Structure 1
Amino acid sequence: MSDTPIHHPSLTRRHAIQAAGGFLALAACGRGGAASGTLRVGNQRGTTKALMLAAGVLDGAPYRVEWSEFPAAQSLLEALGSGAVDVGLVGDAPFQFAYQAGSPIVAVGAMAVVPPTPEGALAIIVPRGSAAHSIRDLVGKRIASTRGSIGHYLVLRALQHADLPADAVHMVFLSPSDSQAALQTGAIDAWATWTPYTVAALAQGARIAVDGRPYSNGAGFDVAYAGAAKTKRALIADFLGRETRALAWAASHADDYAAVLARETGLPLAIARATALRNGRQRVPIDAGLITAQQQVLDTFRQAGEVKAVRPLAQAFAPIT
């Protein structure tokens, strides 16, 4: 796989959080409950924080939630691996990528996209004037994504399905904001990304060249720093329970969710609503079937030479209920 970054700054533990949008704190204090203290939660743009604020599920929590904002799973996982945050939601591909790189993290909860997965929730998108309508049309072209992301995984899976080698395209590893700018200026030919970025790009005239639905099952994991999974087990268990209630609430409150999502992210309300509709998820157990399904994610990265896969897959999961 060709790695030809346009801009790929190194991130220290402190810079990872600052570059991702700074530190936000929410006091979720109240009476009752056994857990107390502070839970540091990493939030990818347009995901957990907006959902839980909209649903009001943190009201009355007997502990404080400190939020840190990140533009993509990679930077969130870096913060988790360094112990800068305790828990955060990421897709299955970036989790597997970071775990096999040796990060001290474990998946403590899981969720899946409520079927049917909408078109464009995960996709390789191209500019309006592009002639590309498939992964074969992008052979030899420059495709941007974040390294180890679900977008990166989508490119590899699409290439596999078309019987093309991993180096048939030129991967350019960028942050979502840099990818968006590069697509608009023509510095790249395509962008492999996810909501809310797909929704915003499509609204601005981009087009889907490869839809991600055949290549991803939409699994996501609440991932914890291994130390926090032990020392803050009660807080994490309570937080996951509240997140589960928020997921159920969002299924019938898309407009309310969208209003908070727009406020939290700065997205136009119409794009926030489209994102909310594409982000329908439900809690699922971390069981043998789910772990087995993750083998394909791991094998895809391994066969492309992106990971060595030396850590046992089953040890990546430590459910907290």
Structure 2
Amino acid sequence: MTTSSTAPSVSSVAAYAAPAANAPLEKISVPRRPVGEHDVLIEIKYAGICHSDIHQVRDGWGEGIYPMVPGHEIAGVVTETGPGVSKYAVGDRVGVGCFVDSCRECEACLAGQEQHCAKGMTGTYNALDKNGEPTYGGYSTHLVVDENYAVRIPDGLSLDVAAPLLCAGITLYSPLNHWKAGPGKKVAILGLGGLGHMGVKIAHALGAEVTVLSQTLSKKEDGLKLGADHFYATSDPKTFEELAGSFDLIVSTVSAPLDMDAYLALLKVGGAFVNVGAPEEPNSLNMFSLIGGNKTLAGSMIGGIAETQEMLDFCARHGLGAEIELIAADRINEAYERVLASDVRYRFVIDAATI
């Protein structure tokens, strides 16, 4: 496979970056490495805004690397390939998720669990690559990535609604797949936001009986349209009485501390409560809430490259894309405030043509 002669390599690209912790994002230029032997150059078409972008921009998960170009929900088109590339050709529709490299040698990497690389995966942004250079994410016009860390976006998915699947989609698909959500299983999705709405869609498509647990009933109509069978408000104490011992699986997308004892009581014997939301504050629970009923408290972090491709293919077969609000890049700061106010249904996506 040869390097494209119609789309020369780029050495710097336009991007939106936070110059410092808690600073508004602004337009800058950032470097991109030359296209190497196994690299592809992607012209980014769309980039989703994930709540984790806000956590990292604002140092919520530890000290960040600035200037920081967020974005790990990336959908675009290959415009150049390195001479050793075999997976993709110029014109292919591809996506990049939360990481762009790993050691490729450890037990996790060899098992297709690159996100759990023993030496640490290389994040798509706010990380240092193997050369010690900072990575810059998808709020930009182009990205260079090793072909093995890109995934193919099926033709059945529009790129704008596919972009959020690279984080939100795989974040929910992986635990639902691992804990075998499907016919005969009662699954609750806790929180109906950017993550949760994809959890409802995917759990429904897998054949599970799906319940949404949300703070209020304000999104009930949406939840039922997305595929939920039931919808309950967690602000109502009667919810916890009525649903005690109901669920085989609860997937929590909430990024705030919870009353874990109350939620564990909603599980059946042998049920699992899986966290995919990552609160900045620690949580606590009474261990008897786990011991009684042989219950499992677990976490799940995105998915490996192979499972991400599996998720995209599944979503294409079932016609599942994210519910999005498309914005221009100059509205990113406004979008951040709206995400924090839960004022989006259900994922902001940046049109990279406006960067």
- Class of the TM-score when normalised by the shorter of the 2 chains: under 0.3
TM-score (norm 1): 0.25
| Structure number having the greater helix percentage | 1
TM-score (norm 2): 0.24
Larger RCO, structures 1/2 (Cα 8 Å, 6+ apart): 1
| Structure number having the greater strand percentage | 2
